[in-house]
Amino acid sequence: MNTIVTQSPCCGETTNPQFQKLNAYLDTLAIDQKDPRRKDKLIMTLHYAQSLFGYLPEIIQIYIAQRFGISHADVSGVISFYNFFTVTPKGKIQVNVCMGTACYVNGADKVLREFERVLGIQTGEVTSDQKFSIESLRCVGACGLAPVVTINGKVFGKVKPEQVPDIIEKFLIEETKIEAEVINA
């Protein structure tokens, strides 16, 4: 049975800007139960919601299900089918450590443990300042560079555990520079 969401899913406020944008987007879709493109529209909506919220919290899934007139299970089925959707929050800086076979045999597990140690979080978690999150991935197709780490889409090959603090510091410096540019803009 669908849960009816009558308030903003995020803060209990109907003024939540992300929720308003999602609502406006859904209004433009003119969702029709008989529309054969309804599933495409659902996937587009999930992409849009993830771009707004950074992930797909359960309450947003329920709201989208309600707007599409389908069950929450239908929505979560689509989310779990496509691995680009995530139901857990991510940091601004997303660390992905490849744990495919080539990376694993070349020490990816030690690299992953070092990221966890330095950032003080486990895989799948986000730091309390929301800056970093860590995920492990299957083969990213760069086995010749094993072990491979990607951070916000940038690829690091042949990573050694002792390089991890420098890699993190580099991203923190870049992040600080971007924040300073935004403040001075």
- In the complex, the residues that contact ligand FES under the rule CB under 6 A are 98, 100-103, 139-143, 146, 148
Q: Which is nearer to ligand FES, 5 or 139 (CB)?
A: 139
Q: Look at strands 149-151 and 93-98 and give their pairing.
A: antiparallel
Q: Which is nearer to ligand FES, 109 or 116 (CB)?
A: 109
Please state, in angstroms and rounded to a whole number, the distance separating the CA atoms of residues 108 and 116.
Answer: 12
Q: Which residues contact 131 (CB under 8 A, 6 or more apart)?
A: 91, 92, 93, 172, 175
CB of residue 114 to ligand FES, shortest distance in Å: 17
CB of residue 79 to ligand FES, shortest distance in Å: 25
Q: Which is nearer to ligand FES, 118 or 140 (CB)?
A: 140
Q: Which is nearer to ligand FES, 12 or 153 (CB)?
A: 153
Cis before 147 (ω within 30): yes
CB of residue 158 to ligand FES, shortest distance in Å: 11
CB of residue 125 to ligand FES, shortest distance in Å: 22
If we measure between CA atoms, which residue out of 133, 150, 152 comes closest to residue 98? 150
The residue type found at 149 is: V
